[in-house]
Amino acid sequence: MTGSLDGKVAVVTGAGRGLGRAMAEALAGAGAAVVVAGRRTADLEDCAAKLNAEGGRAQAVRCDVTSESDVAELAETAVASFGRVDILVNNSGVVETTTLVEQEPESWDRIVDTNLRGVYLTTRAIGRRFVAQGSGKVVNIASNFGLMGVSHHAAYSSSKAAVIAFTRSMAVEWARHNVQVNAIAPGYFATDINAGLRADDAATAAVLKRIPARRMGRPEELAPWLLLLAGPASDFMTGETLVVDGGQSIQ
């Protein structure tokens, strides 16, 4: 397998399924060795086995991104397995649809811990190596909900807006070290995260009405943007958030 990321090593969190899995496949397809991380080992091992069977180099690592020790181990295992890390894709995320009044602090904390603190922990653990080696690409998966006012999603939207702000701050902090930090803000893509919504025809129709493209995205439609941000095309581009949402957030 050869491609634009030949010889590079990527770590993707939440890579067992959904967008993370599609992005791990895209990175492997472009030639990168990929460490696929997350909590559900069966999903991760299945993903790594598929990438290896297709001629790639992949390794599954169990990692809860809210655990500092898991994240430290992830960074160490990636380096032990493939010698270095060049690309970090912070993709793990959780959502809950609820009014603010009904949202218990435990739910708020779970969302912010995973979506924001998790990004902080992994970026810190792997980014310190990027700074030391004088190169690296961080791609944070935010959401267009971080750019919009969205009812019933205060915790999720806040966490994703914070990821966009974190992206900008780290871009400025690490630009002099040749480490680029960018984000992708997807709109609706059909994955487990919105399976409940998609099971409800009326709710799905209401969502599609708000998307100018009148459809959800397909996970593989993120790949070109990810490869751009993970490769040399972004060497002089940092702190940006690419919105891929069929036009939903520009209305």
Ligand X SMILES: NC(=O)c1ccc[n+]([C@@H]2O[C@H](COP(=O)([O-])OP(=O)(O)OC[C@H]3O[C@@H](n4cnc5c(N)ncnc54)[C@H](OP(=O)(O)O)[C@@H]3O)[C@@H](O)[C@H]2O)c1
Residues that bind ligand X (CB under 6 A): 13-14, 16-20, 38-40, 43, 63-66, 91-94, 114, 141, 143, 186, 188-189, 191-194
CA–CA separation, 139 vs 90, rounded Å? 6
* Nearest C-alpha neighbor of 126 from the set 115, 114, 138, 134: 138
- Phi/psi for 59 (5° steps) reads -140, 135
Whose Cβ is closer to ligand X: residue 9's or residue 12's? Answer: 12
**Residue 188 appears among annotated catalytic residues:** no
The torsion angle over the Cα atoms of residues 85, 118, 47 and 185, rounded to 10 degrees, is: -90
**CB 160, min distance to ligand X, A:** 7
- State in angstroms the smallest separation of the CB of 144 from ligand X: 7
Instruction: Give the nearest distance from C-beta 60 to ligand X in angstroms.
Output: 10
* CB count in 10 Å sphere of residue 113: 18
CA neighbor of 178 nearest in space, from 114, 130, 139: 130
Tokens of 113: 């811990």
Burial of residue 132 (CB within 10 Å: 0-12, 13-18, 19+) is exposed
In the complex with ligand X, which residue's Cβ is closer, 9 or 141?
141
Q: Which residues contact 90 (CB under 8 A, 6 or more apart)?
A: 13, 65, 118, 119, 122, 123, 138, 139, 140, 141, 163
Our CB check for ligand X shows the closer of 19 and 139 to be 19
In the complex with ligand X, the residue whose CB is nearer, 1 or 150, is 150
- Candidates 120, 130, 156, 166; catalytic one: 156
Question: Taking the complex as a whole, how short is the minimal distance between the CB of residue 67 and ligand X, in angstroms?
Answer: 8
Instruction: Supply the residues annotated as catalytic.
Output: 156
